[in-house]
A and B are shown apart, each in its own frame.
Chain A
Amino acid sequence: MITEEVVDLSRLQFALTAMYHFLFVPLTIGLAFMLAIMESVYVMTGKQIYKDMTKFWGKLFGINFALGVTTGLTMEFQFGTNWSYYSHYVGDVFGAALAIEGLMAFFLESTFVGLFFFGWDRLSKVKHLMVTWLVALGSNFSALWILVANGWMQHPVGAEFNYETMRMEMTSFVDLVMNPVAQVKFVHTVSAGYVTAAIFVLSISAYFMLRGRDLAFARRSFAIASAFGLAASLSVILLGDESGYELGDVQKTKLAAIEAEWDTHPAPASFTLLGIPNSETMTTDYAIKIPYALGLIATRSTTEEVKGIKDLIEEHEIRIRNGMKAYELLQTLRSGQTDEFTRAEFDRYKQDLGYGLLLKRYTEKVIDATDAQIQQAARDTIPPVGPLFWAFRIMVAAGFWMLLLFAVCFYYTAKRTAWHKPWLLKAALFTLPVPWIASEAGWFVAEFGRQPWAVGEILPTFTAVSVLTANQILSSLILFLVFYTVLAIIEIYLMQRFIRIGPSSLHTGRYHFEQAGSTSSSTRVRA
């Protein structure tokens, strides 16, 4: 029996495990790339310090990577355990992207990552460099395929419903891969990963410099991070995935919610910088608006309008009524009456079948829905505006803050004075959590903003869950919480420990705590 409680708990468990997984993913994606860059410099110049940099940042990469792998296991199997109807309904499309991710990306990344850590003495310089690049390539490929999968949930293309098998079936693999929503998401997400890694290296290097330790090591790391980060943060912002918001109904709805765009205004729409969205009255109080900006950002034109929430609800109500017809025809077809007329009628309405399924929340039979239930379902098609409005603004503010920081760091690094500016180093240090806040806020916008759909216009989240009891999910959810909390504590403990020791943890004899006169005994540890 599917209840609201089962659905809410399933969503909570998925949100928790996915957001937790994504604490580790962006750092892996970005840092793998930075390690490859550092090692390339080592191989080209032959300077030992770049090898040390690769190894030290690689050690931190490893601590992070282990939890990325651990929490990734959940993601591969949770669709089946907790979203079994989803798995049945869209596995033909979504599963393919996941399987190819395994074949093309995970194998590459994970097979070579072992050699990155343990192959230093057993591989030639060039071969080891090749291994590092393959790890970076593998982690970026995995981002590609998971975003092809996620992009399809936002904007499902290249697939069609088959009433005989009761599921979506792939009609074009090329359309699936070339889905424009997936493409912009990929660029946006990997760039965000590069930004995360750049802030990580920048911030920890700033810490070493503020402590006056291992300066040559820290300055070089800081320089690479500020240049790499500047390029990456420009890419995140300029190639932000706003351009994907005009594709498909769900994306349009999400955009309207993000902008608290209650009414459709004549083009070009203005951008609400700040304000307090009020879902009751469907107005935004105290709004500060920038004329034309939204029209330009969202539609890349001055003539196309951005549709408002009130109009979207009206459109959706019509589609829900069509969806009821589609559902009725589907039942006729499933009962064995598959004459040409019924099939033709079904084909006419089937693009709205998903809207019909929205009524399952209120009536199991769908076709007996009352007007009140239909109106309620239509209102459900708009995700809560307030959280989306704010999460989006938090992400954007974080993005611009990091761009500014990278620009200033890059400028002073080029002038070779960055390390003499404690205010700058402190700013870099305290920015450490910001990329994670931005990533999580961004994913919140993408996924919470997709509600009430699991797959846009196709499959409501409510319908997608497994037949489980609330108690089963509640107990697994608690176990996840306990496990993940313990793992997080261990990870953060190890991270800060190795950061404090710094490159001395490599035991090369060249770094701060290994020099004669070094006082701290607590840090003389084996690592």
Chain B
Amino acid sequence: MIFDYETLKLAWWILIGVLLIGFAITDGFDMGACALLPLVAKTDDERRVVINTMAPHWDGNQVWFITAGGALFAAWPLVYAAAFSGLYWAMMLVLFALFLRPVGFDYRSKMDDPRWRNAWDWALVVGGAVPALVFGIAFGNLLLGVPFQYDELLRPSYHGSFFSLLNPFALLCGIISLTMLALHGATWIQMRTQDKVEERARYLAKRLAVLLVATFAIAGIWLAWSIEGYMIISLPETGGSANPLLKEAIKASGAWLHNYAVQPATLIAPIMAFVGAIAAGIFSHVRYTGLGFISSATAVTGVILTAGFSMFPFVMPSSLVPSHSLTLWDAASSAGTLMVMTWAAIIFVPIILGYTFWCYRAMWQKIGVRFIKENPHSLY
């Protein structure tokens, strides 16, 4: 099977999207559930209930994040280089927060001392909430454009400060991201636990669903009314060498809504976000917990796709020199590398999905305080 370069570039826009959505759905509920830990679980046993719903899976889930990073490196090296060095402190913040998770999960149960366990509980809360928030802030800044440019040897440099990332629109995006993953975490807890913990998760899920609908709608209106998007004026051949300096692009108001006007089918993304969030609330209320989880996963997918569809074909617009923006046409690897990576994805993604489902099925059960008390030594 041989694809032309243009098709491969498009395919990797989709595949990076798949990895990001895979990350947000799997690792997302871990982060959300950890962020909600003190709200849904009051006693040590209750906290262990919540943690043990994730215990066998958090590490595998986290690999979606790691692999998304690796795939970004391989498929869009220019984005990997410009985004991570430009957003240096945002990335460091995410890293240091994520450090708290593996040790939080694994070391918490190793000692009985309540101070020890409490400290790790907070580590898990930070490890869940901070990355969720920062990812949203990063996406918000991508929509606004990032102040970076290239020199003649294609070395990217960033010309903003960390605090300029914390602008109102990006913060709203951060809240959306945190709310969305917290909702997803709540539907997960509700599906996998019993009694008081389940009830508290249900209570939170319903409210978080409303909050997600509201914040997402506000961001949409804000984006439509007063955020300038980016637009390509002239584009070299889309199947040509990846060089971001050859095109011309400008800032334009309403540009982020352009794709929805041209391709109304793309409206499915915001619709999925709204319908998913509302359905997650309703199914939680009527105690269809499985459907509740599927609904919140749909909402997560919808929100991410909305950002992707709005910006297409942009990936990382430059607010400093719009023509230096990175798009899926000029930020990609060579055709040969994309071909190899496509084969790797075709072979491994189905295998990964297969054994991931097998693992979840093997460990599937509702967990309650009694289960924790019956297995004092073999659980987290």
Contacts and interface: CB of A to CB of B under 8 A. Distances in A.
Interface stretch (B133-141, B148-156, B193-201, B293-301): B148-156
Interface in B65-110: 66-67, 69-75, 77-78, 80-85, 88-89, 91-92, 95-96, 98-99, 101-103, 105-107, 110
Contact of A103 (B60, B95, B153, B348): B348
Contact of A70 (B70, B102, B153): B102
B235 interface: no
A491 to B, nearest CB: 8
B112 A525 contact: yes
Contacts of A66: 102-103, 105-107
Contact of B85 (A95, A98, A468, A490): A468
Interface stretch (B179-187, B249-257, B281-289, B355-363): B355-363
Contacts of B345: 103
Contact of B243 (A62, A100, A165, A525): A165
Contacts of A173: 336, 340
Contact of B59 (A69, A103, A119, A127): A69
B242 interface: yes
Interface stretch (A106-114, A188-196, A215-223): A106-114
Contacts, number: 249
A111 B63 contact: yes
B88 A119 contact: no
Interface stretch (A75-83, A263-271, A367-375, A401-409): A75-83
B363 A115 contact: yes
A106 B327 CA distance: 29
Interface stretch (A84-92, A224-232, A434-442, A444-452): A84-92
B67 A103 contact: yes
B71 A110 contact: no
A102 B103 contact: no
Contacts of A72: 66
Contacts of A114: 55-60, 359, 363
Contacts of A494: 107, 110-111
Contacts of B264: none
Nearest to B90: A81
A166 B85 contact: no
A350 interface: no
A73 interface: yes
B60 A110 contact: yes
Contact of B333 (A82, A95, A527): A95
Contact of A81 (B74, B77, B92): B92
A483 B91 contact: no
Interface stretch (B31-39, B214-222, B265-273, B371-379): B371-379
Contact of B337 (A67, A69, A92): A92
A80 B84 contact: yes
Given A96-B340, A111-B63, A467 B334 contact: no
Contacts of A118: 52, 55-56, 363, 378-379
Contacts of B157: 467
Given A67-B102, A164-B241, A506-B377, A91 B333 contact: yes
Contact of A92 (B57, B77, B152): B77
B352 interface: yes
A462 to B, nearest CB: 12
Contacts of A119: 56, 362-363
A522 B341 CA distance: 55
A489 to B, nearest CB: 12
Contacts of B333: 91-92, 95-96, 169-170
B106 A62 contact: yes
B349 interface: yes
A427 interface: no
A14 to B, nearest CB: 14
Nearest to A119: B362
A487 interface: yes
B158 interface: yes
A145 B156 CA distance: 28
Nearest to A101: B70
Contacts of B84: 77, 80-81, 84, 87
Nearest to A506: B377
B344 interface: yes
A177 to B, nearest CB: 10
A472 interface: yes
Interface residues of B, number: 73
A113 B59 contact: yes
Interface residues of A, number: 77
B280 to A, nearest CB: 26
A104 interface: yes
Given A107-B60, A118-B363, A98 B103 contact: no
A87 B153 contact: no
A356 to B, nearest CB: 12
B318 interface: no
Contacts of A169: 333-334, 336-337
Contact of A87 (B81, B88, B340): B81
A206 to B, nearest CB: 24
A99 interface: yes
A87 B355 contact: no
A415 interface: no
B133 to A, nearest CB: 18
Given A111-B355, A114-B60, A487-B103, A84 B156 contact: yes
Contact of A76 (B52, B56, B69, B155): B69
Give the most central of B98, B158, B337, B349: most A CB within 10 Å.
B337
Contacts of A510: none
B73 A74 contact: no
B110 A467 contact: no
Contacts of A165: 154, 241-243, 334
A190 to B, nearest CB: 20
A73 B66 contact: yes
A107 to B, nearest CB: 5
Contact of A170 (B72, B88, B242, B340): B340
B155 A85 contact: yes
Contacts of B105: 66
Give the most central of A62, A92, A162, A525: most B CB within 10 Å.
A92
B319 interface: no
A88 B244 CA distance: 12
A93 interface: yes
Contact of B56 (A106, A108, A117, A468): A117
A119 to B, nearest CB: 6
Contacts of B72: 80, 95
Given A67-B103, A92-B333, 5 more contacts: A95-B70, A95-B80, A99-B75, A100-B74, A466-B88
14 contacts: A76-B70, A80-B91, A81-B84, A84-B81, A85-B155, A91-B81, A92-B333, A95-B333, A99-B70, A166-B243, A169-B334, A171-B336, A466-B88, A498-B110
Interface of B: 52, 55-60, 62-63, 66-67, 69-75, 77-78, 80-85, 88-89, 91-92, 95-96, 98-99, 101-103, 105-107, 110-112, 152-158, 241-243, 333-334, 336-337, 340-341, 344-345, 348-349, 352, 355-356, 359, 362-363, 376-379
Interface of A: 62-63, 65-67, 69-70, 72-74, 76-77, 79-82, 84-85, 87-88, 91-96, 98-104, 106-108, 110-115, 117-123, 127, 162, 164-167, 169-171, 173, 334, 466-468, 472, 476, 479, 483, 487, 490, 494, 497-498, 506-507, 525-527
User: When A and B form their complex, which 8 residue pairs have the shortest distance between CB atoms, in order from nearest?
Assistant: A91-B77, A80-B84, A114-B56, A102-B67, A95-B73, A111-B60, A84-B85, A95-B74
